[in-house]
Structure 1
Amino acid sequence: MYGQAPGRIENCQVAVFLTYATCTGYAVLDRALYLPQSWAGDPDRRDEAGVPEDVHCRTKPVLAQRLITDALDAGNPARWVAGDEVYGNDPKLRKALETHSVGYVLAISCSHRVTTATGKIRADILAAGLPKRAWQPRSASDGAKGPRIYDWAWIEIAGDDDKHTTGCRWLLVRRNQHSGELAFYRSWAPGPVTLAQLVKVAGRRWSIEENFQTAKGLTGLDQHQVRHWRSWHRWTLLAMLAYAFLSILAAGQRELERPSDGLIAFTRHEIRHLYAVLIQPAHTIRHRLHWSTWRRRHQHRARTSHYQRRSQLTP
């Protein structure tokens, strides 16, 4: 495949990844390589890249729906799904999640139209009429420099096809406390939930995206140099397995050995670093563990300082 970069065209692959997030860790469960129509309809390109005959052009929401359905059918429990605008704007994906009784908080564009008691209206226009009392400051997640606090509001909406469909629906709106910039989400749950719950699910997207970037850096998820369909799937599978291995070790270590005062818990970065020096030892194990402890203590001090500064700046 080819992607357009500033002033040039480069080789690239576009894929949909399914990340599983819990309170103890993250893992990449599955992936699907996107095949554009320009490739799907070109027999020569398909043969050269080894694309199977039964693979056709599918949109990213269609690929995501397949990945989620496969994961649920395999017995992976999930209460919520989060995603960006590409997925939030797709009604078929939202309907599939509702059919499986899986709640969602999916980003949508400002021009996305939602159904209210008075008819369909753009999300940004609906948000513009919110009174001051509708906004509540909430922390969506903890960042590297402290809680990510925004103003949030929610508005009850109806389904696109039937106002009497099951479940509860909301338009969730996020406002930056400094710039006033707005972000919008379509939300659904099988039953009543609190605003705090929806905000936490929306905040999972940041954590998932950060962990996805971590997988690229730690296990080379995006460092493949391949041009064949099978090779791409083999490489990403190995990278996903390696990332899951680090996640399991980090979660297990936190359960077995609580970090002492002044130290952060073992992270995937730290575990990978220790494995790297064990494979190619340049110093004694005691020396390496000493530096590991020093790094964890330094990171704890830095995080504590950032959180204290953020709490002082928060109104």
Structure 2
Amino acid sequence: MIDPHLARPETRTSAREVIRALLAPLARKNCWTLAEHAGHPAPYRIQHLLNRAVLDEAALAACLRGYVISHLGTEDVVLVVDETGDLKKGTHTAGVARQYTGTTGQIENCQVAVYLAYTTGDAHALIDHRLYLPSSWCEDPDRLRTAGVPEQVEFATKPEPARRMIATALEHTPHAWVAGDEVYGRNPGLRAYLEKRGVGYVMEMAATDTVTTPRGPLAVKELAVLVPGQAWRKRSAGAGAKGERFYDWALIDDHADTRGVRWVLIRRSRTSGDLAFFHCYAPEAVPLARLVAVAGRRWRVEESFQQGKGLAGLDEHQVRTWTSWHRWSLLAMTAYAFLALCRARELRHHPVPIGVVELACNEIARLLEALFPPESDLEHVLAWSVFRRVHQAHARRCHYRRQTVQES
């Protein structure tokens, strides 16, 4: 899949070895551990791949997108946009700053990136990504230069790269829907762009957002109080780990015009009563069940993050520059997509026997490692032990020297 976009045979070999190592059950995944698993005597080949090797990243991203679309098809597609954060120490890694991350639900020192997931009724994978640069970074040219950020990169709010990623995906799946959380649903520019293209969406809104009613502007949380009891419908937002996720749903017409129909969708928990609100749009009227199904697909991107991090090391990069971050993430997304598409193909062609749980990505990764173990010998293991200890000794000397200078 990726070979035509890598200039040299050594680069192609390194990329294949990295993808395979990313799927291995390693305790930690970084250039050192991947290189050891791949049988390299040192991490330099992988570091070269991530930093300096000649490769067309845009073409590789397009290749990944095409790989996923060709295997999952273009029917019943929902593009889900969301961001995730990776906790980091220090301040030199590209994009790292104290900022909010949904990973912990609070402000942390972290990197935040926006991803696009491609979801169908039975499968999902990540197909695009953009690293978010806080305004503090964009106001510091020296910091940008040190991290290798291209000169043409400027500050952009998260919905802006989301729109660009969605636009690229829609070139191949023009009838897809789009789903997203409040960050994207509350952005009028993104919603206007989708409506102009005639793309249906279901995106979360804040409880304090207002809509126009015959009584005048009302916050949607106030509107929920006015919904009559018979207007609520019990519907499943899709299957979860513990069964169907049933909620009560109410649909309120917002307005319609020549561009399409708009609604406010309200979701109510059947246990706690907690409410969530969604902007909805479609070029023509659709039933409640369709909007609920699109809203339910938002969980798929969370599953993609969880599996991409747990199985393919999406968040375990220990790289500092703009280029190395994008390359690592792209290779991790490719590794995870391979597992996701293997699972989809298996379920499509081999019905699950009675009394057996369907094959999961985790089990596929275990099977790959068991059936195709890496070649290793005692000499290789001992050589890596020496390599690590030599570099750790060098790092310790550097730390002590720096401490001495600071205290003098």
Do they superpose with TM above 0.5? yes
| Structure 2 counterparts to residues 97-112 of structure 1, below 5 A | 97-112=194-209
Paired with 2:349 and 2:126, the residues of 1 have a C-alpha distance of 24
1:14 partner SS: strand
Q: Percent identity?
A: 51
1:157 partner SS: strand
Which of 121, 125, 132 is the equivalent residue of 1:34?
132
Comparing 115-124 and 244-253, the one that deviates more: 115-124
The alpha carbon displacement at 1:211 in A equals 2.5
Amino acid at match of 1:53: E
Paired with 2:165 and 2:306, the residues of 1 have a C-alpha distance of 20
Paired with 1:210 and 1:248, the residues of 2 have a C-alpha distance of 14
Q: Does 1:133 align with 2:226?
A: no
| Structure 2 counterparts to residues 1-315 of structure 1, below 5 A | 1-3=96-98, 11-73=109-171, 75-158=172-255, 164-280=257-373
The alpha carbon displacement at 1:117 in A equals 4.4
Q: Which runs of 5+ in 1 are unaligned?
A: 283-315
Paired with 1:131 and 1:256, the residues of 2 have a C-alpha distance of 46
The alpha carbon displacement at 1:9 in A equals 8.8
2:270 partner SS: coil
1:139 partner SS: strand
Amino acid at match of 1:207: R
Paired with 1:59 and 1:116, the residues of 2 have a C-alpha distance of 31
Paired with 2:156 and 2:227, the residues of 1 have a C-alpha distance of 38
CA deviation string 1:46-105 (max 9, x = no partner): 0110010000010001111111011112x1344211110001101110011111211000
CA contact (8 A) 2:126 2:304 kept: no
Q: Which runs of 5+ in 2 are unaligned?
A: 1-95, 376-408
Paired with 2:114 and 2:200, the residues of 1 have a C-alpha distance of 20
Amino acid at match of 1:61: P
Paired with 2:197 and 2:214, the residues of 1 have a C-alpha distance of 26
1:102 partner SS: coil
Amino acid at match of 2:202: V
Alignment root-mean-square deviation, CA: 2.1
Amino acid at match of 2:295: A
CA contact (8 A) 2:264 2:278 kept: yes
CA contact (8 A) 1:2 1:9 kept: no
For normalisation by structure 1, the TM-score amounts to: 0.83
CA deviation string 1:199-250 (max 9, x = no partner): 1111111132122211111111111111100000000000111111111111
Amino acid at match of 1:139: S
